[in-house]
Amino acid sequence: MGKENEEDILWDVAKNCISKLEFVDCAIYLVDENENLLVQKAAYHAKSPKDGTLYNPAKIAVGEGITGSVAKTGKPELIPDTSADSRYIVDDNNRLSEICVPIAYEDILYGVIDCEHPVKSFFSERHLKMLSAIASICAIKIKSVRANKRLLEKRRKLIQVREEMLELKLKTLNSQLNPHFVFNSLNAIQYFITTQNTKLALDYFSTFSRLVRFYLKQLGKDTASLYGEIDMLHWYLKLQKLRYEDSFDYTISIEKEGNMESEEAVIPAFVILTLFENMVEQSVINGVTDQHFKIGVKALKNIVRIEVHYHCKGLGSENLENRWYRENIMKWKDQIELINAVKGYGISHKTTSSFDNGIHRKHKVIQLPNIV
């Protein structure tokens, strides 16, 4: 009763059936429900290992042999003469009597205890009662061990989910205020001021302030208003367009399903912006020209679909995705996988690209849950 795992329980029963009841052979099987088999987990006889290790453990189909029959019927059996029973299966030696009892509790079969002896009619009704009592105690203990194991596994998963939630929050916080972007924005504002381009400096600073205020308001939140996210994306692209001297253009269109006209859509925070940060920085690194982002947003009852058509004039190569971009896109994909794992959102994304006559085209489709 003091054992805390199934193997210790079974080996203890097998050994004590030998030493206390003067049996010469004992084998214990547990049910493998997936395979409908009895798998030997413990055995004790003259030639058995003493270190609690089984070599080539026996497997018996439920219903096969005396042991399999007991597993199938759930009823104990006492066989005084195995030579007269066609079900008997010879293991290491041909023994003439056998006793077999199910390890069961509350109509649940956990396994079988099977003992053999070389002498006919060795086992008695008294043995059957004793072994049945041992099997019942064993079943109760196995149930308790398994229940504790499930509880520990549940706690482990809960701790793991909490750790993943913390990791997700840290990653989201990091993406919410990219230091690289902030420093570059401040440098751009400083440049416009020093060059006395007051109008552009004020325009840049006003847009930057709106973006930062939105960042701070959303700090630490897992979800955001779809239209707040679209406003943030617009401010971000406007800043980048100013910063990179109109090296790209963009359009954003929003479509709502009929019954969504009066409702607000809610989506996971900062998924969209992080993607566009990668795309814009990638295009600048490659030095491409005539860039255009056509961004379509469609809000439905349960999902929000973001569709991006991007095209530019490349540098004569189909592969415009450098190492920096690939690494950051992988981080973005990892973030999506983590959000899906922790929140169960089922965010999906698909990208196709082509290169024809010097024009590089990319089509991205992102499907987000409308968290209502």
Q: Do residues 27 and 117 lie in contact, with contact meaning Cβ atoms separated by under 8 Å?
A: no
Q: Are residues 331 and 241 in the same domain?
A: yes
Task: List the single range of 51-55, 243-247, 259-263 with lowest mean pLDDT.
Answer: 259-263
Distance CA 270, CA 287 (A): 26
Domain that holds residue 132: 6-152
CATH (domain of 255): 3.30.565.10
Query: Does 138 lie in the same domain as 227?
Result: no
Residues 225 and 365 in one domain: yes
Same structural domain, 20 and 125: yes
Residue-level pLDDT at 318 = 47
The answer to whether 74 and 109 have CB atoms below 8 angstroms apart is yes
Under the banding of pLDDT at 50, 70 and 90, the label for residue 89 is: confident
Residue 114, both tokens: 């099977």
> 169-179 pLDDT, tens per residue?
666 656 556 67
List, edge to edge, every strand of the sheet that includes 348-356: 248-256, 289-299, 303-313, 359-369, 348-356
**Got the DSSP string for 104-158?**
EETTEEEEEEEEEESSTT---HHHHHHHHHHHHHHHHHHHHHHHHHHHHHHHHHH
Asked whether residue 233 falls in the same domain as residue 144, the answer is no
Q: Which residue has the higher pLDDT, 253 or 184?
A: 253
Whether residues 19 and 131 share a domain: the answer is: yes
Q: Which of 114, 130, 152 is the C-terminal boundary of a domain?
A: 152
- Using CB atoms within 10 Å of the CB of residue 302, give its burial: 0 to 12 exposed, 13 to 18 middle, 19+ buried: exposed
Question: Same structural domain for residues 225 and 364?
Answer: yes
> How many domains are there within the chain?
2
Asked if 363 and 273 sit in the same domain, the reply is: yes
Residues 360 and 260 in one domain: yes
| 240-253: average pLDDT | 85
* Residue 188, in any domain of the structure: no
Residue where a domain stops, chosen among 152, 171, 199: 152
* Across 111-125, 244-258, 313-327, least confident range: 313-327
Read off the pLDDT of each residue in 134-144 and give the average, rounded to a whole number. 93
Mean local confidence (pLDDT), 201-219 = 83
pLDDT digits (tens, 9 = 90+) for 307-334: 999 988 865 444 555 565 566 666 778 7
- What's the whole-number average pLDDT of the chain? 83
Phi, psi of 298 (to 5 degrees): -125, 120
Name the pTM for this structure.
Answer: 0.56
pLDDT at position 316 is 47
In a domain, 336, yes or no: yes
Do 145 and 228 fall into the same domain? no
Residues 229 and 142 in one domain: no
pLDDT value at position 78? 95
For range 27-32, the mean pLDDT: 93
Question: What's the pLDDT at 251?
Answer: 94
Given 152, 169, 192, the domain boundary residue is 152
152 against 275, higher pLDDT: 152
146 & 232 share domain = no
Neighbour-count burial of 283, counting CB atoms closer than 10 A to its CB (0-12 exposed, 13-18 middle, 19+ buried): buried
Does some domain include residue 184?
Answer: no
Is-contact 123 99, C-beta < 8 A? Answer: yes
